[in-house]
Amino acid sequence: MRVVWAAAAQTDLVEISDYIALDNPSRAVSFINEIVDAGEAIADMPRAFPLVPELEGRAIRRRLYG
């Protein structure tokens, strides 16, 4: 399985990083890396994460973080 990041998700990650970087630039980078790593793990174990109910027909899964 492959992981595809929606444009909105990518924008959210940039905004989150920018916000955290105001106080702690190095933590901004490490936090975003943690989120990306967690999301990419779906490719390794897709059945470990639930399908998005409104998108089940498209086999889209989600992983909550934190």
Domain boundaries, the chain: 7-58
| Predicted structure pTM score | 0.82
Distance CA 41, CA 54 (A): 22
pLDDT band at 2 (very low <50, low <70, confident <90, very high): confident
Q: Which two tokens stand for residue 40?
A: 């990419």
Distance CA 40, CA 66 (A): 15
Say whether 53 sits in a helix, a strand or coil. helix
> For 8-59, what is each residue's pLDDT tens digit?
999 999 999 999 999 999 999 999 999 999 999 999 999 999 999 998 888 8
Task: Between 62 and 15, name the one with better pLDDT.
Answer: 15
Q: How far is CA 62 from the centre of its chain?
A: 8
Q: Which pLDDT value is given to residue 55?
A: 87
pLDDT band at 66 (very low <50, low <70, confident <90, very high): confident
Burial class of residue 49 in the structure, from the number of CB atoms within 10 Å of its CB (0-12 exposed, 13-18 middle, 19+ buried): middle
